[in-house]
């Protein structure tokens, strides 16, 4: 299957690299494309058209006052995983935009964190074929203990790059 857009083609260029090097290289390239992602040190563990997994280390530059991952960094993690799920599918003449970001902080996080976002086949078809629209992207955010200290609901829209 051919890659649906420029982002997917770029990511596929790294497929021949060994997994640890591939993750590092993709994280560097995408971290340059989205500066806040690079600054926070987000790491892409898996990225394809159906699923994106992004992680963040609990290190000083992203910590809060109790040495956990900062609330804003947790939201960034969820936003990044869901956004790249949409971004891997949106046609090149469309622009993905976050429409709604709802994050419920349920308990203290422990250690590093990971977000895993998924799109259904129906959502992928919708993104690739409709001129504009929106989807709620499923995302699960876990910490080092395997628990879900936060729950997030991310609604992404896509519109034409050309302003009407």
* Mean per-residue pLDDT, 95-109: 96
φ/ψ of 76, rounded to 5, equals -60, -40
* Mean per-residue pLDDT, 17-41: 92
Alpha helices (runs of H) in the chain, residue ranges in sequence order: 6-12, 19-33, 35-40, 71-87, 121-129
Which superfamily does CATH assign the domain made up of 6-160 to?
Hotdog Thioesterase (3.10.129.10)
- pLDDT at site 163: 79
For 34-112, list the strands marked E by DSSP: 43-47, 51-56, 94-105
Instruction: Convert the pLDDT of each residue in 103-116 to its tens digit.
Output: 999 999 999 999 99
- pLDDT at site 162: 87
Does the pLDDT at position 43 exceed 70?
A: yes
User: Binning pLDDT at 50, 70 and 90, where does residue 57 land?
Assistant: very high
Burial class (CB in 10 A: 0-12, 13-18, 19+), 127: buried
User: Binning pLDDT at 50, 70 and 90, where does residue 164 land?
Assistant: low
d(CA 55, CA 101): 18
Q: Is the pTM of this model over 0.85?
A: yes
Question: Mapping DSSP to helix (H, G, I), strand (E, B) and coil, where does residue 14 land?
Answer: coil
Question: Mapping DSSP to helix (H, G, I), strand (E, B) and coil, where does residue 113 land?
Answer: strand
Domain borders along the chain are 6-160
Instruction: Convert the pLDDT of each residue in 116-157 to its tens digit.
Output: 999 999 999 999 999 999 999 999 999 999 999 999 999 999
How high does pLDDT run on average in the chain?
A: 95
Q: Are 14 and 8 in contact (CB under 8 A)?
A: no
76-80: long-range contacts, CB 8 A cutoff, minimum separation 24? 76/36, 76/37, 76/40, 76/42, 77/42, 77/113, 77/114, 77/115, 77/141, 78/103, 78/115, 78/117, 78/139, 78/141, 78/150, 78/152, 78/154, 79/154, 80/34, 80/37, 80/42, 80/54, 80/115
d(CA 77, CA 129): 27
Does the pLDDT at position 90 exceed 90?
A: yes
Does the pLDDT at position 63 exceed 90?
A: yes
């Amino acid at each position: 299957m051919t890659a649906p857009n420029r982002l997917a083609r770029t990511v596929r260029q790294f497929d021949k690299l060994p997994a640890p090097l591939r993750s590092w290289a993709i994280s560097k390239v995408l971290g340059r494309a989205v500066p806040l992602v690079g600054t926070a040190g987000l790491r892409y563990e898996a990225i394809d058209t159906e699923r994106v997994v992004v992680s963040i280390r609990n290190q000083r530059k992203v910590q809060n006052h109790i040495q956990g991952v900062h609330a804003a960094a947790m939201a960034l993690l969820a936003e990044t995983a869901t956004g790249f799920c949409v971004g891997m599918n949106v046609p090149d003449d469309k622009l993905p935009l976050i429409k709604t970001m709802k994050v419920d902080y349920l308990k203290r996080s422990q250690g590093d964190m990971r977000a895993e976002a998924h799109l259904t086949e129906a959502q992928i078809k919708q993104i690739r074929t409709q001129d504009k629209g929106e989807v709620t992207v499923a995302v699960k955010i876990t910490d080092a203990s395997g628990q879900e200290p936060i729950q997030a609901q991310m609604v992404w829209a896509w519109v034409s790059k050309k302003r009407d």
